[in-house]
Amino acid sequence: MAYRAQGAGYADVAEHFRARIKAGELAPGDALPSVTEIRQQFEVAAKTVSRALSVLKSEGLVTSRGALGTVVAKTPLVITGADRLDRMAQGGERYGPGETSSGHRVMRRSVYDSEVCTALELEPGDEALIRIRVFRQDDKPNSVGVSIYPPHTVAAVPELAEDVRMVAQFDKLYEERTGREVVKGQRTAHARQASQDELAALEIDAPAHSAVAVLVTTVTFHDEDRPLGYWEDVYAPGAKVPMS
């Protein structure tokens, strides 16, 4: 059965391959089907395929590689923590080909950051659980993931407090144990100066006190009554981040 709905065009073809790259189904260096194969799969004209591939090239997702045809670019989209939950929920893997993580840390800290306190409805100085890890592509760091949980979330999902990599989704565990649906809020993005800890985690060699701008995305998870977690992803300069 063809992928597309009746009347689909170049944007549908581009989105199909964009989603596969984002899901990790196509890794850097993987070849896309030939123009003929794409035409047959989507029942579209060669011009439509050419336009779709041009869109993906302009986004830096694919590149031409001579006899190999069109392949996924070496620096594809950097996947956020929230997108990893979606990937796993759809039956995929947490990590795509070539992706790993390192520097996993778990700690309990008093929280004073006003944005975090507001998001999690905490008073300044309240304790929260913080999990930190560095995501890598081909062993090169591309983002730092920070997730912060209030005590009531940790009480329902005590695995969060264990100093090991989580193998199950926190939201699914919470739903199973409480019967409450977990809703992901609106993800937002902003730029700011990276901290020295973030520069070290991203292996960026910059002079002390120098200003290095990074993109940061944040999202808050809720149940029907209260916030459950606040996630922040800090991306290395130059990273391409998909925004929904």
pLDDT tens figures, 92-143? 677 777 788 999 999 999 999 999 999 999 999 999 999 999 999 888 999 9
Of residues 9 and 234, more confidence is placed in 234
Q: Which of 13-17, 85-89, 197-201 has the lowest mean pLDDT?
A: 85-89
User: What integer best gives the mean pLDDT of the chain?
Assistant: 89
pLDDT at position 21: 86
pLDDT at position 167: 81
pLDDT at position 7: 54
207: Cβ contacts below 8 Å, ≥ 6 apart: none
202: Cβ contacts below 8 Å, ≥ 6 apart: 134, 141, 142, 143, 144, 194, 214, 234, 236
Q: Which of 52-61, 85-94, 234-243 has the lowest mean pLDDT?
A: 85-94
Question: Which domains can be identified in the chain, with CATH numbers?
Answer: 10-72 (1.10.10.10), 81-235 (3.40.1410.10)
Beta-carbon count within 10 A of 215 CB: 20
Residue 142 CA to residue 28 CA, distance in Å, equals 14
Neighbouring-strand partners of residue 52: none
Of residues 239 and 54, more confidence is placed in 54
Q: How confident is the model at residue 1 (pLDDT cuts 50, 70, 90)?
A: very low
pTM listed for this prediction: 0.79
- Supply the angle between the helices 10-22 and 46-58 in degrees, to the nearest 10: 40
DSSP string, 112-141: --HHHHHHHT--TT-EEEEEEEEEEETTEE
Reported as type and span, the H/E element at residue 155 is: helix 151-156
Say yes or no to pLDDT of 90 above 80. no
Q: Residue 34: what are its φ and ψ, rounded to 5°? A: -70, 165
Of residues 6 and 158, more confidence is placed in 158
CB 180 within 8 A of CB 224: yes
Q: How confident is the model at residue 241 (pLDDT cuts 50, 70, 90)?
A: confident
Say yes or no to pLDDT of 2 above 70. no
